[in-house]
Amino acid sequence: MNLTIEQKNINQRLDKFLVDFSLNKEEFKNFSRGDFIRAIKDGFVRVNGEILKPSYRVNSVDKIEINIPEKSEKIIPNPKIKLDIIFENENFLIINKPAGIQIHPDFNEKENTIVNGLIAHYPQIAELESNEIFSFQQRPGIVHRLDKETSGVLIIAKNKKTFLEFKKMFQEKTVHKKYLTLVYGIPEEKEGIIEKPLARTTNYRKQTIAGKKTKTKIRSAITHYKVLEKFKNNFSLTEASPKTGRTHQIRVHLSSIGHPIIGDKLYSKKIYPPFEKAPRHMLHAHEIEFTLFNEKFHFTAPIPNDFQKVLEEIKNI
């Protein structure tokens, strides 16, 4: 793929130029600036036939080529990745994902993800193809995702029929999820709905509440929240139920109403001091409910130790 450099892009860093180029390109929708930096360093992006640094400043006469390999790499099985299985039948698994592990491989991490563990323990799942283009986007069996630092309940399809059915269910929003989270402050309304569209920021690392001047693709986003417990030191235990499945949705929405999640460095508010004892953002996928092949299912992932410790710390301040 050869790229055209417009006047507005002249003297831009190469990595930043690629991010701006990708903002409305469907095939690059999951690329971050870090992904492009790694692609440049790995030689998948060339300027005038040469491998240059991500900091290179582009100019109007440059010929920029992107040749990121399409699916060809095999996913590396990793039996060392242990799966905390809540439920299993012939069609799917429900696992309790720990915080700190990615769902699938990317440019930076190719072996230590949930998918690497799945392929080791369930080789047949490797046959479940997705429609993604590039090798680092392979997510066999994965029908929805959790952020790396988010813990909790995760569905894994074990065969193609179930995989396609779950995909359809998520598209039709018939899978119901509840998350537990610890937030700064106490919302004025004990219960409410946050309906604010989201879009990528121009550096592609974050989501933002979309406005009239938003340049990237805007997607509707709805989150129902309920305050479960208030603490005298200005913290709350909150339940959040996303009605849409946008990246970082709960984190952005809660921050947008002035109540960011404790430990969330990406969407924190300066008015709140950092909670140093939180090892990650305190977001846990607690429950999931759906009907599959005319059978109803409901699963709960127990609150993890790190979440419980922060909760106790808040209660004792």
Looking at residue 123, its pLDDT comes to 92
72 in a structural domain: no
| 76 located within any domain | no
pLDDT tens string 165-192:
999 999 999 999 999 999 999 999 999 9
Q: Output the pLDDT for position 133.
A: 46
| 197-230 per-position pLDDT tens digit | 998 776 556 888 888 788 777 899 999 999 999 9
| Pair (140, 99) in one structural domain | yes
Whether 258 and 189 map to the same domain: the answer is yes
- Tens digit of pLDDT for each residue in 266-290? 999 888 888 889 999 999 999 999 9
Say how far apart CA 283 and CA 181 lie, in whole Å: 5
pLDDT tier, 33 (very low <50, low <70, confident <90, very high otherwise): confident
Six-digit token string for 189: 């309304």
- Give the whole-number percent of the chain exceeding pLDDT 70: 92
> Domains in the chain: how many in total?
3
For residue 211, being part of any structural domain is answered with yes
Average pLDDT over residues 19-26: 76
Domain boundary among 118, 136, 171: 171
- pLDDT tens-digit map of 137-161: 567 889 999 999 999 999 999 999 9
Q: Both 165 and 217 in a single domain?
A: no
Query: Is residue 75 assigned to a domain?
Result: no
CA–CA distance, 276 with 141 (Å, rounded to integer): 36
Question: How far are the Cα atoms of 66, 105, 140 from residue 114, in angstroms, in the given order?
Answer: 29, 8, 11
The answer to the question of residue 28 being in a domain is yes
Residues of the chain above pLDDT 90, percent:
56
Contacts of residue 112, Cβ cutoff 8 Å, sequence gap at least 6: 78, 81, 101, 102
Residues 185 and 304 in one domain: yes
User: Which residues are registered as beta bridge partners of 45?
Assistant: 66
In a domain, 77, yes or no: no
Domain-embedded: residue 74 = no
154, 171, 188 - which closes a domain:
171
Same domain, 52 and 182: no
Shared domain check, 197 and 300: yes
- Catalytic site residues? 147
CATH of the domain at 115: 3.30.2350.10
Read off the pLDDT band of 316 (50, 70, 90): confident
Residues 182 and 298 in one domain: yes
**What pLDDT shows up at residue 104?**
86
Indicate whether 165 and 184 sit together in one domain.
Answer: no
188 shares its domain with 258: yes
Q: Judge if 297 and 202 occupy the same domain.
A: yes
Whichever domain contains 6, its CATH number is 3.10.290.10
Instruction: Decide if 151 is inside a domain.
Output: yes
CA distances from 312 to 57, 260, 265 (A): 50, 19, 21
pLDDT tens digits, 79-99: 999 999 999 999 999 999 999
Rounded distance between C-alpha atoms, residue 250 and residue 151, angstroms: 14
**Of 171, 189, 220, which closes a domain?**
171
Boundaries of domain holding 94? 85-171
Instruction: Tell me: do 258 and 184 sit in the same domain.
Output: yes
By DSSP bridging, strand 45-47 and strand 64-66 are: antiparallel
Q: Is the pLDDT of residue 29 over 70?
A: no
166 and 180 both lie in a single domain: no
